[in-house]
Amino acid sequence: MAGESLRSSVSLPTDLTYLEPLEGFVRGLCRVAGCDQRDTSMVALAIEEAVSNVIQHGYDQGETDVFDVSFDVGAAGIVVEVHDKGLPFDPESFFPKEPPSEGAAPERGIGIKLMKGAMDRVEFLNLGKGGKLVRMTKYFRHRRIDSYFSDGDLVESPREESFFGPFEVRAMKPEEALEISRCAYRAYGYSYREFVYYPERIRELNESGMMKSFVAIDSRSSLVGHLALSFSDPDSVIAEMAAAFVNPSCRGQGILGMMNEMVMAEAERSGLQGLFVHAVTSHVASQRGAVKSGFMSTGILLGALFSDLNFKALAGEVRQRESAAVMYRPLCHRVDYDIWVPDRYVSIVSAIVASCGVNGKVRSSPVSLPERSSRIGEGNRSYKVGEFNFGEIRIVDFGEDSLAELQHRLREFRRDRLDVVYLYLDAEIPEAVPFAEECHRMGFVFSGYLPGELRGHDALILQYLEDTPLDLSRINLADKMGQEILEYIVAEMDEREESL
């Protein structure tokens, strides 16, 4: 299965008797992928619940139809999509707004809870006239790096294996994915992003175009570092420079700088509009490196990472949730265009736009929010990032119906006890202004601004924290713009606290 993706789909009538043969098909797919019994059972359970929901709740009583279930089995896991054109469905409606009283009927929404518990990621997508879609992802446990080696094998290199310059940076070869995972372990233990510990997942992301990996090797072709361009979707015009790590025994030899230069040159050659990084704020080393490479702060994601992220030689162990500085570097400049934000954010966004050289005019709009979004919410996305316990919502179609959808998603994320929710709004649409004002009333505060992040349009980023304890004085920022953004966020949070 390495390097291959097995795609298939089935069309099912709205009839529960088809669940049993579907389960047999699912278990067969998982068996072909070589996954273990536990993962197979979890995938089968989630699909059964998703399909049952469509059949039992997706259509009026007596109505019949055919809907589709598609499967994409890759080397690292499986993606399942259940697509129907039945009744509009909101998973929030299956949960009570108040805790059930003693002796009450069994809680609704148990199927959705089972789906989320069984899979690594579950997304509910509104496709407008195209219906609705549930996308579920499961990464197979047996594909992780520690299934290949013991911890001792991962950490220690043979004594005779030293690293010798000169070092070279080039595109990753598929067979090097395993050594990339080992390098990540040596640099971060098991505290880094989950995907880097799955060699097949690294290969899969590169083959799909969602990531372009570059590696540093020494004169004996030993892999000593990794850096990638990561894309939020296949049509992205900007990329994140991500998954940067160097073998600890090679630090201080300029390897990260070499990888930065190569990756940025590749980004320019490929015609990307810009690059961004998420730099930790428990120390300023990575931020200073980004500033030297032409990046400027455009936002701060409060509490973005778990507090157990271990930087070993860099900063020890971080004791509170780690916040991330969003830093952007433009590679090409668009012609003049309008950026729409509420009056309260005009000054800070104008400062950010000026600092990073964006040729946009920041404006506020007197328009009101329409009752219905232009495409009935099509293109809006929300999902939970389980490994860091935060939620992300992206809104590109604005209306009262999109606002209601956001309120439902926020309640769902709060019920799931997520630490923080990040909201990305398309700032090139005037209706983003009244929408963002409503978000402010809901408790969202400013986070930042990122050019080109939403279908090539600029994004206004807001964030919602409820009971997440954060000492903002412990956030360290290397550039003046970052400090101004933090001061603005602190002032807005203080203002909100006083108004409560």
What pLDDT sits at residue 460? Answer: 98
- The pLDDT value recorded for residue 105 is 45
Chain-centre distance of CA 18, in angstroms? 34
Under 8 Å CB-to-CB from 190, ≥6 apart: which residues? 197
- What tokens appear for 364 in the block? 């506020």
User: Could you tell me where the DSSP H helices lie in 245-330?
Assistant: 255-269, 285-292
Query: Given the structure tokens 């004169």, which residue do they identify?
Result: 219
Residue 19, Cβ density class (10 Å: 0-12 exposed, 13-18 middle, ≥19 buried) = middle
Q: Encoding tokens for residue 179?
A: 């050594």
Closest CA to 205 of 214, 194, 213: 213
- Residue showing tokens 């209601």: 404
- Report helix, strand and coil shares of the chain as percent, to nearest 5: 35, 30, 35
> Cβ(214)–Cβ(262) under 8 Å?
yes
Q: Which residues pair with 390 in a beta bridge?
A: 385, 420
Please write down the HEC assignment for all residues of 19-73: HHHHHHHHHHHHHHHCCCHHHHHHHHHHHHHHHHHHHHHCCCCCCCCEEEEEEEE
Which amino acid is present at 71?
F
CA distances from 59 to 22, 56, 89, 141, 279 (A): 20, 7, 10, 36, 47
Of 291, 296, 436, 421, nearest in space to 362 by CA:
436
Contact indicator for 182, 151 with CB cutoff of 8 Å? no
Residue 471 near residue 319, CB atoms below 8 Å? no
Q: Where are the alpha helices (DSSP H) in 197-251?
A: 199-208
End-to-end CA distance of the chain: 56
Tracing tokens 């279930």 back to the chain, one arrives at 69
Spatial neighbors of 150 by CB under 8 A, at least 6 apart, are none
DSSP lists the bridge partners of residue 329 as: 275
pLDDT 10s per residue in the chain (500 long)? Answer: 344 567 899 999 999 999 999 999 998 888 877 777 888 889 999 999 999 989 988 888 888 899 999 999 876 778 999 999 887 766 555 544 454 445 544 455 677 888 888 888 888 887 877 888 999 998 876 566 655 555 555 554 443 346 777 899 999 999 999 999 999 988 888 778 888 888 888 998 999 899 999 999 998 889 999 999 999 888 899 999 999 999 988 888 889 889 999 999 999 999 999 999 999 998 998 899 899 999 999 999 999 986 544 444 444 444 578 899 999 999 988 888 999 999 999 999 999 999 988 889 999 988 999 988 876 556 788 888 877 889 999 999 999 999 999 998 999 898 888 899 999 999 999 999 999 999 999 999 999 999 999 989 999 999 999 777 889 999 999 999 999 999 999 999 999 888 76
pLDDT of residue 143: 60
Reduced to 3 states (helix: H, G, I; strand: E, B; else coil), residue 189 is coil
129, with CB counted inside 10 A (0-12, 13-18, 19+), is exposed
CA dihedral 276, 236, 190, 464 (to 10 degrees): 70
